[in-house]
Structure 1
Amino acid sequence: MTAPAAKPAKQDDAAAIARALYDLGPTPVIACKADPRFSYCLYVPKSLGKGGQPPELVVTMHGTGRGFTGYRDAFESFGRWNNCVILAPLFPIGVMGDGNRNGFKYMREGDVRYDHILLAMVEEVAEHYGLRFDRFALFGYSGGGHFAHRFLMLQPHKLWAASIGAPGSVTLLDPTRDWWVGTRSMAELFGSAPDIEAMRKVAVQMIVGAADLETWEITHKPGDRSWMPDANRAGTNRPERLDSLRRNFEEHGIDVRFDLVPNMPHDGLKAVSRVEDFFAEELAKRRSGAARAA
């Protein structure tokens, strides 16, 4: 029997070039298969597939300005030197056709569950690269900080670390008030109440600038889309509101590293170095534990 002909060398070369250009390093923007209204980009270490420890996943969530590629790029060196894939989702403004800038912050909008969309992206990336991400780290600043702490409440089993940066408003673990101010209606809206024991197992950082004091964008008023009673009860500005969230978490036995950064205004990119330090510390613990278990 005649042996099958080998692939032409040029075809193999083209596939290798395409992989190097589009699948490794900083990638182009990719539509999410589960719902192409949403997309993401990645940084994938070029060492992938060359042996050694499999990479971990870090998700960087944009804020209201949707600067998702900027956060991907800011964490590129971290991904390269710590063997991590960086996933930066894009949740566009107005996916329901109404111009709403804030839907993703509150986790549910029309038929969309934003935590489910992110989990679909994670699964898609893992499948494409032949990896497994049972848990990942999540960073979000400003609008992304909204998303990060509410994702932690909804999906704590999916995270090994969460860095919550300068959210304009916070949801407290409070069974006496409805979502989004509290968690009383969370089971009705999302199918489950907060699993506080699971949240205690996630490493949590909260970070905000001491000079982040403007309130024009975060003061809720009657008639606003996000208005509900007690919407402003956690504090006047971002440091006060994040400190309220810290105290609330700690009252429930959830340890928090709180970084109040001197002289820092509302600028998520300026927070990245401290977030990288936090993730690096937790990553070392995670890998050390995995090595001991092996």
Structure 2
Amino acid sequence: MQELGTGDAVARARIVYDYEETAVFASKLDPRFHMMLYVPPAASKGRKVDLLVAIHGTGRTSALDFRDGFSEFGLYNDCAILCPIFPVNVQGDGARSGYKYIIEGDIRYDEVVLAMVAEMAEKYDQDWSKFAMFGFSGGGHFTHRFAILHPEKLWAASIGAPGSVTLLDHDRDWWVGIRDLPEKFGRPFDADALARVPVQMVVGGLDLETWEITHAPGSKYWMEGANEAGKTRPERLQTLQKSFESVGVKVTFDEVSGVSHDRMKVLAHVKAFLTARLKEMRA
């Protein structure tokens, strides 16, 4: 049997680990955070592909579910899938939810994601100056807040079943409102840019449990107004819809009948939304 030369081995390893379902990579910006991707074969042939960033929920295992769950979508739509992984306990305090609110101590999770996208765009020789984002549950927290902060980076956003929502309320501070955005994040709210982002909001019609989403006074993320958007996830997402629509955002609202808090059972609706947005954008 002929042995592979050094160049052949490097090329073979790149095909095995860097394309289609990839290995897990550490972020150059902050190696505490990782990512996995699906990169369609078209990219290995030098073709330009688009990008979807899919954000996991509290359990983190949905990063793998989303990478594999969107792989067929990525293959047939020439779209790479990037799934960041933000571990529990990253600051040694056992915290599970810091990434959902974008900022945790000295960590800016929005900047981590932007750095991951830039790093992978360079690696695969792609223009990912704009991308789509989807997140479910904890990822839905992150996605709508990222859209508020960085609408100019998105060609679409799909917000799935967040437990708590940030409304476009200039009378309340982050995370309930956006009054202190410039002080907290160093950037103003750009309503016009957000209005240009096609947004989907998706939630199961039976996603009605409240034990994980009700903020009690004295709890870590308690603020006045923390529970005022509604009791259940569908109610809170409807309130977010009205808030986004108040600044001109076109929202596609999908309440999936017969479905509880099940990320995999809403993916068909998300794929349909993103496929339509891709066709519009490419036209």
TM-score range, shorter chain: over 0.9
Aligned mate of 2:58, from 61, 64, 81: 64
CA–CA separation in structure 1 for the residues paired with 2:98 and 2:148: 17
Matched, 1:143 2:143: no
Bigger radius of gyration, 1 or 2?
1
Q: In the alignment, which residue of structure 2 is the partner of 1:96?
A: 91
- Counterpart of 1:60, as a letter, is A
Runs of 4+ deviating beyond 6 Å: none
- Counterpart of 1:57, as a letter, is L
CA–CA separation in structure 1 for the residues paired with 2:92 and 2:105: 11
> Which consecutive residues of structure 2, in runs of 5 or more, have no partner in the other structure?
none
Write out per-residue CA displacement over residues 229-262 of structure 1, whole angstroms, 9 at most, x where no aligned residue: 1100000000000000001111111110000110
Aligned mate of 1:107, from 102, 107, 119: 102
- Counterpart of 2:258, as a letter, is N
- Counterpart of 1:65, as a letter, is G
1:39 Cα offset (Å): 0.4
- Counterpart of 1:118, as a letter, is V
Change (3 A) 1:51 1:33: closer
SS of the equivalent of 2:84 reads strand
The percentage of aligned residue pairs carrying the same residue is: 53
CA–CA separation in structure 1 for the residues paired with 2:160 and 2:184: 25
Aligned mate of 1:217, from 207, 212, 218: 212
Question: For the aligned residues, what is the CA RMSD?
Answer: 1.1
Aligned mate of 2:253, from 255, 258, 264: 258
1:50 Cα offset (Å): 2.3
1:11 Cα offset (Å): 2.0
- Counterpart of 1:241, as a letter, is R
Q: How many residues align?
A: 280
TM-score (normalizing by structure 2) = 0.97
TM-score (normalizing by structure 1) = 0.93
1:193 Cα offset (Å): 2.2
1:24 Cα offset (Å): 0.7
1:9 Cα offset (Å): 6.6
Change (3 A) 1:9 1:37: closer
Write out per-residue CA displacement over residues 163-214 of structure 1, whole angstroms, 9 at most, x where no aligned residue: 0000000000000111101111111100122101000111100000000000
Q: Give the conservation status (yes or no) of the 8 Å contact 1:183–1:193.
A: no
CA–CA separation in structure 1 for the residues paired with 2:209 and 2:4: 60
Matched, 1:22 2:17: yes
Matched, 1:273 2:271: no
Q: In the alignment, which residue of structure 1 is the partner of 2:194?
A: 199
5 Å-filtered alignment, 1:1-294, equals 10-50=5-45, 52=47, 54-67=48-61, 68-288=63-283
- Counterpart of 2:231, as a letter, is T
CA–CA separation in structure 2 for the residues paired with 1:162 and 1:66: 20
1:12 Cα offset (Å): 2.5
CA–CA separation in structure 1 for the residues paired with 2:6 and 2:91: 43
> Which consecutive residues of structure 1, in runs of 5 or more, have no partner in the other structure?
1-7, 289-294
Write out per-residue CA displacement over residues 80-119 of structure 1, whole angstroms, 9 at most, x where no aligned residue: 1101110000011121111110000000001111000000
